[in-house]
A = this chain, B = another copy of it.
Amino acid sequence: MSEPEVKRRPGGRSARVRAAVLDATFELLRARGLEGLRIAEVADRAGVHETSIYRRWGSRENLLLDALLEITEQLRVPDTGVLRDDLVAYATDLAAFLATPLGHALEHALAAAGDDPDARRARDRYWDARASRSRQIVTRAIERGDLPETVDPRMVIEMLVSPVHFRVVLTREPIEPGMPARLVDALLGGIAPRSP
C-alpha cells in the first residue's frame, strides 16, 4: 500500500474525532517520525482538546496502536485468484509502505518498543491483525486446491514478509524491485528444485 489516508467515516462526532486525531497522528509521524509524536501537538492539529485524546486512548502508546491497526485495516490483501501474483503483490506493497517515512517510523517504533505488558498486548494485537488478514492469501489458495491442506498459512506469510522486514530494520539494505518475485518463487518452488 502507499501512504494510507484515514477514510472519513460517515457518522457522529465520535467517529469524526477519531478520524481527525488519527489523521493528525499520521501527519506528525510522517513529518518527524515517532520522536516527534506529542499528544499536545496531535490535539492541536486535530482541533480537539488534549484531554479528549487521553480520555479516549489513555496513552501515546495506545494512540500509536490505534494508528497501526487503522493502517492494517487499509492494507490491501490482493485476491487475483493466482497465488503467486497475490504473494508478489503483497510483498511489493509491504516493501513500498515500509519505504515511506510513515512506514519507516512505525516499523522502527515496533522494533524499539518495550516489553512491558501494555506494549506487549498492543504489539500482539497489531501482528495478529496483520497475520489474520494476510494469511487469507494462503487459505484461499488452499481452498482453490492450489496448495495442499498441510501448508501452514502463518509460516508462509512469515517467510514472505521476514526478509523484507529484516532489510528495513536490521541490514537497512534497499529492497530491489525484483526481490518480492524472487522470494515468492523460492518460497513456492523451493531453492533446490527437483530435476524435471
A186 beta carbon closer than 8 Å to chain B? yes
A14 beta carbon closer than 8 Å to chain B? no
The interface size bin for chain A is 35 or more
**Could you tell me the distance in whole angstroms from the C-beta of A127 to the nearest C-beta in chain B?**
5
| A194 partner, pick from B83, B170, B173, B194, beta carbons under 8 A | B194
Could you say which residues of chain B place their CB within 8 Å of the CB of A161?
166
| A192 partner, pick from B127, B151, B173, B192, beta carbons under 8 A | B151
> Residue-by-residue, is A155-171 near B (CB-CB < 8 Å gives 1, otherwise 0)?
11011011101100111
Are B111 and A169 closer than 8 Å at their CB atoms?
yes
| Chain A residues proximal to chain B, CB less than 8 Å | 83, 107-108, 110-112, 115, 120, 123, 127, 146-148, 151-152, 155-156, 158-159, 161-163, 165-166, 169-173, 182-183, 186-194
Q: 3 nearest interchain CB pairs? A: A190-B190, A162-B162, A162-B166
